[in-house]
Amino acid sequence: MTRRVVYLSGSIANLTYAQATEARNQTTELLLASGWDVLDPMRGKELLSTMAVIDEKHTREVLGYVNDAAILERDFDDLRRADALIVLSGDTPTWGTAFEWSIAHFLMNYKPTVVVCREDSPTRDHPWCRSMCSYFAETVEEAVEFLNRWFNRGYKLGA
């Protein structure tokens, strides 16, 4: 049986490396334990851990002058290969996350998207976010549980 793939979207810029990877690592562990494969845009970017804060002006320099097009192409290819998207830190809007979410929704045939955010997050009230989100979860555990139900045909509306 082919393993399903989840793309992890979420804030990177203006965070420390630890802040940018903590929820990603936790989510990856849960997904792998549930039989998923994971595509994380932070993979291969361990050099960013040398920065006090990941800032977009100096990221290319730290990564060996990789250009913006290369970053975008890898993310776009990852989104194309993914079966679903989990948006981490849905409480904090960022440009990159917004683009990834839109690409997954409009250009990649409405991939199931789970947004992890607080119950009182303004994200849940935004019309674009509500219409492009398959499910809002308060924890990564809840997000993974939802995707497991969705793809195992155990998903029931209103359940």
pLDDT tens digit sequence for 36-78: 999 999 998 888 888 899 887 887 788 877 788 888 899 999 9
Q: Length of the chain in residues, anyone? A: 159
Q: What are the Cα distances from residue 148, in Å, to 5, 64, 113, 116, 118?
A: 12, 38, 13, 15, 21
Residue 114's SS3 state is strand
> Tokens 């804060």 label which residue?
53
Domain ranges of the chain: 5-151
More confident residue, 143 or 103: 143
CA end-to-end distance (rounded Å), the chain: 27
| Closest residue by Cα to residue 4 from 77, 78, 80, 83 | 83
Would you tell me how many other CB atoms lie within 10 Å of the CB of residue 157?
A: 4
pLDDT tens digit sequence for 71-107: 889 999 999 999 999 999 777 778 888 888 888 888 7
pLDDT of residue 96: 83
Threshold 0.75, pTM exceeds: yes
Topology adopted by domain 5-151: Rossmann fold (3.40.50)
